[in-house]
Amino acid sequence: MQSSEARRSRKALAELINFVTRGAAHTEGARAGLRSGRLRLVREDGTVRKTDARVFRLALSQGLIEVKTQGDDKLSCRVTPEGRAALRRWLADPGSAFQNQHRLLVARSDPDHGQLQVNQAESPLAALARIKGRGGGLFLEPSQVEAGERLRVDFTRAQLQPSLGQRWEPVRAGRQPGFAGGAAELTDTAMSARTRVETALADVGPELAGVLIDICCFLKGLAEVERERQWPARSAKLMLRTALAALARHYARPKRRSGASTAPRHQSDAQNSL
């Protein structure tokens, strides 16, 4: 049984990691904040959060965040793979007060499994789904958001969890080094989900599969994807929309009958949707 102090500490850590997961942040007046015990964090999107300096130091000591010095009195921080994994464990814990406060479960209809529950609070697509495009309409169509969430559900069921620090690229079921759960260890449900993931990504094509996995499945922020892939600013959002459009078309197509051609159709030109 966890003590109330331990639960409060974990909740505070989870709130800090959840904030930084949605975009790298920097401190303003780091020295004064550390002395006073309160740090002011400003995220890339302009969102501000005040956090206890002791919680910040604890997250740093446990390797949940990493910091870099910027100038004389400014620190930049971002979540580490260990921090992201810890946040997922906390969100999955039924007894977690943080989970009860921050999760937002919605029902999704899946042709293969019926009704599914998706936690929108941890999905980058939930925020993008509310953004308006230049013409005033939604930046992402509902079918594109549904496609991304459906891929995430299958990815989770397929037990495709990479080793820490390993970059994911399109999967081949049962033959991917560094992943938990080889083909011999998987249940029929997991193998079916893995096959669906592989088929969907093959249909989308290698040019767009990576951004789908990064954002829909690994729940990385747009700025983090741009930094890791060395893309121009604001390009990840446009590439994601192109990839989701291709994924939605894949899911919308009637299933092929046994023996029919299964040659994947690739999305080769992302510029049409940019």
Any idea where the domains of the chain sit in the sequence?
4-85, 105-273
Q: How confident is the model at residue 120 (pLDDT cuts 50, 70, 90)?
A: low
Strand-strand pairing, 48-52 and 65-69? unpaired
Max mean pLDDT among 137-141, 181-185, 242-246, 252-256 falls in 242-246
Averaged pLDDT, 207-214: 94
Q: How confident is the model at residue 204 (pLDDT cuts 50, 70, 90)?
A: very high
Residues, the chain:
274
Averaged pLDDT, 126-141: 83
Q: Can you give the pTM of this predicted structure?
A: 0.53
Residue 116 has pLDDT above 70, yes or no: no
Averaged pLDDT, 164-178: 41
CATH class of 4-85: mainly alpha
User: What pLDDT score does 144 carry?
Assistant: 94
Max mean pLDDT among 12-21, 184-193, 225-234, 263-272 falls in 225-234
Averaged pLDDT, 151-156: 87
Residue 187 has pLDDT above 90, yes or no: no
Neighbours of 240 (CB within 10 A): 25
Using alpha carbons, select from 85, 113, 117, 119 the residue that is nearest to residue 100.
119
User: Comparing 182 with 213, which gets the higher pLDDT?
Assistant: 213
Long-range contacts of 219-227 (CB under 8 A, 24+ apart): 219/21, 219/84, 219/122, 219/123, 219/124, 220/124, 221/21, 221/22, 221/23, 221/24, 221/44, 221/124, 222/23, 222/124, 223/23, 223/24, 223/44, 224/23, 224/24, 224/78, 227/24
Q: How confident is the model at residue 105 (pLDDT cuts 50, 70, 90)?
A: very low
Mean pLDDT of the chain: 75
User: What pLDDT score does 33 carry?
Assistant: 76
Averaged pLDDT, 78-96: 74
User: What pLDDT score does 165 carry?
Assistant: 38
